[in-house]
Amino acid sequence: AAIEKGNYRHFMQKEIFEQPTVVAQTLGSYLRQADNSVALPQFDFDLSSIKRVTIVACGTSYYAAMVAKYWFEQFARVPVDLDVASEFRYREPVLEEGGLALFISQSGETADTLAALRHCKANGQTIGVVVNVPTSSMAREADLLLPTHAGPEIGVASTKAFTCQLAVLAALAAHMAVKRGLMSRKEEQEVVRHLLEAPACLNAALDHDEDIAAMAHLIAPARDVLYLGRGPDYPLAMEGALKLKEISYIHAEGYASGEMKHGPIALIDEHVPVIVLAPSGPLFEKTVSNMEEVRARGGQIVLISDAKGLEAAGEGCMATIEMPQVHPLIAPLVYAIPVQLLAYHTACVKGTDVDQPRNLAKSVTVE
């Protein structure tokens, strides 16, 4: 059956709003609600003794991989090697026999990622694939197939596939932590409970749609926009910048908050909106001081944080967007929503072709 937009103006908008449902579906296939445990497909690989994971992807899927690196290292203490697929083979990566290589892709057909997969297979790696199209080349070539259940994604700029990838990767991080004896049964239950709260938190984030649509009028006139984040929210800053440039054609950069002073700060003046992604928590204070550096140079800040964060640092911002208070493991999923909506509405203000942006393809099958 043809996929319809229904009451939505664009497929991208529809796909943004589908996220609570498809993330719930995806989590449902990896988490057992009966006993709050993580349940991965049967897989002949010993995760307990794994020395390193190699992760390869492109575009938005690469940013999901980047979040996974934080999680795999933090929760499962597994070192992660991470590359964009077009760089991977050519740097002659060192692949130890018996290692695990993970490929993340919505389409399962991206040429660079597929070539990287085959390279790893030829070099004795076990192949894990997080993929949205179950009949794709990558799905067929996987030893461990971890499907995202986002349903067909039509908008060229990926949205729901991304949050579903994060859902799978969060479950995998928890599973590895359990296998490696770093997460007790009780902690696992706790994490699973938090993950199961994700769909409701995504809904709470979507409630800000109208405010964000209004905010888009502040962003649309800009020539450059900077996105800042720390920890697992740093990849989110990059993803926010990618979404904005893909569909609104405004130049945007995502930067690690603390790295801004080593370059991008030179760009800051009153014409450069700076979007700060900063859930309250141990990294918050540091990010606030980076925000102060922006403010001191006249930069206009949009702060995306929870009630606690906004209370501490919301004053003096051009705009704020309040996210629910969430567990660090689901913050990247939840914070994806405002950056997607901000890009979407800014593109609408600019009148661009949101679902088919110029020069871009949904699936890139050339290297």
Q: Strand ranges (DSSP E) for the chain?
A: 31-32, 37-38, 53-57, 80-84, 100-105, 126-131, 144-147, 224-229, 251-256, 273-277, 300-306, 319-323
Q: Which is nearer to ligand G6P, 194 or 362 (CB)?
A: 362
Closest CA to 272 of 231, 304, 318, 305: 318
Smallest separation (angstroms) from ligand G6P to the CB of 184: 34
Site for ligand G6P in 96-115 (CB under 6 A): 105-107, 110, 113
Smallest separation (angstroms) from ligand G6P to the CB of 150: 11
Q: Which is nearer to ligand G6P, 113 or 290 (CB)?
A: 113
Q: Which is nearer to ligand G6P, 61 or 163 (CB)?
A: 61
Q: Could you tell me which stretch among 16-24, 57-65, 203-211, 276-284 binds ligand G6P (CB under 6 A)?
A: 57-65
Q: Is 309 in the site for ligand G6P (CB under 6 A)?
A: no
Distance CA 317, CA 108 (A): 41
Q: CA of 261: how far to CAs of 129, 184, 238, 276, 297, in Å? A: 37, 40, 17, 14, 12
Please give the residue whose beta carbon sits closest to ligand G6P in the complex. 59
Contact map string, positions 222 to 261, toward ligand G6P, x by CB under 6 A: ----------------------------------------
List, in order, residues 6 or more apart from 292 with CB less than 8 Å away: none
Smallest separation (angstroms) from ligand G6P to the CB of 174: 23
Q: How many residues bind ligand G6P (CB under 6 A)?
A: 16
Active site residue 5: no
Number of Cβ within 10 Å of residue 88's Cβ equals 25
Distance CA 89, CA 257 (A): 30
Q: Strand ranges (DSSP E) for 148-250?
A: 224-229
List of residues contacting ligand G6P (CB under 6 A): 58-61, 105-107, 110, 113, 156-158, 360, 362-364
